[in-house]
């Protein structure tokens, strides 16, 4: 779950106070060269004082690439990698950008895509994305998110998607696992609730658990609400943000949460839990199902769950949509970077193995990484969501290794989750997401602790309180 976001445009007002950065002491990033004529490549690096081992390994890696680059480009003066310690933050982004202090490229959360492109500090990287095969096999949903006016401004790095983790032993006792090991996929949220009820009746275990604290409850609630047809916020013609979720659809989504406790009685007795406690409790066998991402399977194993008892299914469809929440990260390239710097950055990614090329060396690296996971007792077979489809050779190879050659689980346990072809992707809300989650947390806690809680009133109050946050943004 991402850190609190603030609208980039609202921060431009702070720039005047620090605009001197642009005129004194800032780097001449337009030159893109060191004093001796080498291409200057600035990469975000862990500070030595924070993690000396990571810093040392990074510097060794940079030196190796500088040597490689010199051999690959004998007619050039070479490349020099300079560590940069800036980590993206909406609070200081405009000032750092105008001061010429941004690295050649840097990482941001998926939620920042609109703000980053609005701010105008991202480089048009269309020709490099095409040249280095980042467009080949790119998922159309993801391509739309990184494109504006036909130009690509962001490089997707990784994606996660929300599904439902299931305890296969509990589901099997209640008759919800096929002979081949495939867990039952509820088609609707109502069916999911009834399934959780049957599991509790037949096993004595709680059927479902969800977080309610530290903004995690609101975070998990948003894809449920989207499925019911909720739109949490909109921007009007003047660019002002308006909270728009005081609707019957949002009331119905909250009622579903309430029903889990008071109608179906499938929630554990302790309803006040944050995300970390839910992960550990599910791994310890305290419930049959919970919201989760595939990568959390390792957490469940650490908490004591047998890897062969872990299954994953998709979120059900709601009355209006079949949708899941996605997160992840993008690389953003400095608007002032030269073509030579961008080329060097893409070459560095290819060389380091994070690019889209696929050769024998990269194949060995991917395979070695999976072998290490297997030695650590982790699951191999659950596919993380990806910006790329199987039309991309590297993604196709990763799928082959994970699901066929090196899988150490019954693939039927997770096949319903692995297939993302029939479900919509939606990113977190575009502005003040954490404030939204906080007001939704309050509503969720209320309906799970008070049988007489009024869902309509709670949504009205949540919407009003969130609008107060948006008003601060609108007036800043």
**348 Cβ neighbours under 8 A, 6+ residues apart:** 41, 43, 65, 81
Spell out the per-residue pLDDT of the chain, length 476, in tens.
544 344 444 444 433 333 333 333 334 444 899 999 999 999 999 999 999 999 999 999 999 999 999 999 999 999 999 999 999 988 899 999 999 999 999 999 888 888 899 899 999 999 999 999 999 999 888 898 899 999 999 999 999 999 999 999 999 999 999 999 999 999 999 999 999 999 999 999 999 999 999 999 999 999 999 999 999 999 999 999 999 999 999 999 999 999 999 999 999 999 999 999 999 999 999 999 999 999 999 999 999 999 999 999 999 999 999 999 999 999 999 999 999 999 999 999 999 999 999 999 999 999 999 999 888 888 999 998 899 999 999 999 999 999 999 999 999 999 999 998 899 999 999 889 999 999 999 999 999 999 999 999 999 999 999 999 999 999 97
The model's pLDDT over 78-103, given as tens digits with 9 standing for 90+, comes to 999 999 999 998 889 999 999 999 99
Q: What is the pLDDT of residue 23?
A: 33
Q: Dihedral angle at the C-alpha atoms of 246, 247, 253, 254, nearest 10 degrees? A: 40
Q: Which two tokens stand for residue 58?
A: 């990074």
Q: What is the pLDDT of residue 392?
A: 95
Query: Cα–Cα–Cα angle for 396, 402, 407, nearest 5°?
Result: 150
The model's pLDDT over 129-183, given as tens digits with 9 standing for 90+, comes to 999 999 999 988 889 889 999 999 999 999 999 999 999 999 999 999 999 999 9
CB of 270 closer than 8 Å to CB of 460: no
For the whole model, what pTM was predicted?
0.86
CB of 113 closer than 8 Å to CB of 146: yes
The DSSP string of 328-384 is EEEEEEBTT--HHHHHHHHHHHHHHT-SS---HHHHHHHHHHHHHHHHTT---SPPP
| Mode of pairing for the β-strands spanning 79-84 and 39-44 | parallel
CA distances from 176 to 116, 180, 207, 253, 297 (A): 45, 12, 12, 25, 20
Secondary structure (3-state) at 147? strand
Backbone angles phi, psi at 325, to 5 degrees: -90, 135
Q: What is the pLDDT of residue 376?
A: 85
Q: Which residue has the tokens 């275990």?
A: 205
CB of 6 closer than 8 Å to CB of 474: no
Q: What is the pLDDT of residue 381?
A: 96
Fold of 163-326+373-474: D-Maltodextrin-Binding Protein; domain 2 (3.40.190)
> Which residues are bridge partners to 84 per DSSP?
44
Please, where in the chain does CATH 3.40.190.10 lie? 8-161+327-372, 163-326+373-474
CATH number of the 8-161+327-372 domain: 3.40.190.10
The model's pLDDT over 321-368, given as tens digits with 9 standing for 90+, comes to 999 999 999 999 999 999 999 999 999 999 999 999 999 999 999 999
Rounded to the nearest integer, the mean pLDDT of the chain is: 92
Residues in the chain: 476
CB of 324 closer than 8 Å to CB of 161: yes
Burial of 359 (0-12, 13-18, 19+ CB in 10 A): exposed
| Mode of pairing for the β-strands spanning 323-333 and 105-109 | antiparallel
CB of 112 closer than 8 Å to CB of 329: no
Q: What is the pLDDT of residue 404?
A: 95
């Amino acid at each position: 779950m991402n850190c609190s976001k603030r609208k980039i445009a609202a921060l431009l007002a702070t720039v005047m106070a620090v605009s001197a950065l642009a005129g004194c002491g800032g780097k001449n990033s337009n030159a893109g060269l060191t004093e001796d004529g080498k291409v200057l490549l600035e990469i975000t690096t862990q500070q030595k004082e924070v993690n000396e081992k990571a810093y040392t390994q990074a510097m060794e890696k940079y030196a190796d690439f500088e040597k490689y680059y010199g051999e690959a480009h004998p007619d050039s003066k070479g490349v020099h990698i300079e560590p940069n310690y800036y980590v993206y933050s909406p609070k200081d982004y405009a000032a750092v950008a105008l001061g010429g202090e941004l690295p050649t490229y840097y990482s941001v959360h998926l939620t920042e895509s609109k703000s980053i492109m609005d701010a105008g500090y991202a480089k048009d990287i269309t020709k490099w994305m095409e040249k280095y095969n980042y467009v080949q096999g790119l998922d159309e949903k993801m391509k739309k998110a990184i494109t504006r006016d036909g130009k690509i401004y962001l490089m997707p790095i990784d994606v996660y998607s929300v599904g439902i983790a299931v305890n296969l032993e509990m589901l099997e006792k209640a008759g919800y696992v096929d002979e081949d090991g495939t867990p039952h996929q509820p088609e609707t949220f109502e069916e999911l609730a009834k399934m959780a009820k049957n599991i509790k009746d037949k096993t004595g275990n709680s059927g479902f658990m969800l977080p309610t604290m530290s903004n995690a409850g609101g975070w998990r609630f948003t894809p449920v609400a989207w499925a019911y047809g909720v739109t949490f916020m909109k921007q009007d013609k003047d660019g002002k943000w308006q909270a728009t979720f005081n609707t019957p659809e949002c009331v119905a989504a909250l009622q579903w949460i309430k029903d889990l406790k008071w109608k179906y009685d499938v929630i554990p007795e302790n309803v006040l839990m944050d995300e970390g406690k839910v992960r550990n409790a599910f791994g310890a066998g305290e419930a049959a199902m919970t919201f989760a991402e595939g990568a959390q399977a390792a957490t469940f194993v650490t908490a004591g769950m047998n890897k062969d008892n872990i299954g994953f299914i998709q979120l059900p469809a709601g009355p209006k949509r079949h949708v899941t929440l996605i997160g992840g990260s993008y690389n953003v390239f400095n608007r002032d970077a030269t073509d030579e710097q961008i080329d060097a950055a893409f070459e560095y990614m290819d060389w380091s193995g994070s690019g889209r090329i696929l050769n024998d060396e990269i194949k060995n690296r991917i395979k070695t990484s999976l072998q290490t996971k297997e030695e650590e007792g982790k699951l191999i077979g659950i596919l993380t969501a990806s910006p790329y489809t199987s039309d991309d050779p590297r993604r196709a190879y990763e799928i082959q290794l994970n699901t066929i050659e090196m899988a150490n689980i019954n693939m039927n346990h997770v096949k319903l989750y692995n297939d993302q072809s029939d479900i919509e992707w939606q990113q977190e809300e575009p502005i003040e997401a954490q404030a939204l989650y906080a007001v939704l947390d309050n509503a969720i806690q209320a309906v799970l602790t008070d049988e007489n809680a009024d869902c309509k009133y709670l949504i009205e109050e949540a919407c009003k309180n969130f609008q107060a946050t948006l008003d601060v943004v609108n007036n800043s």
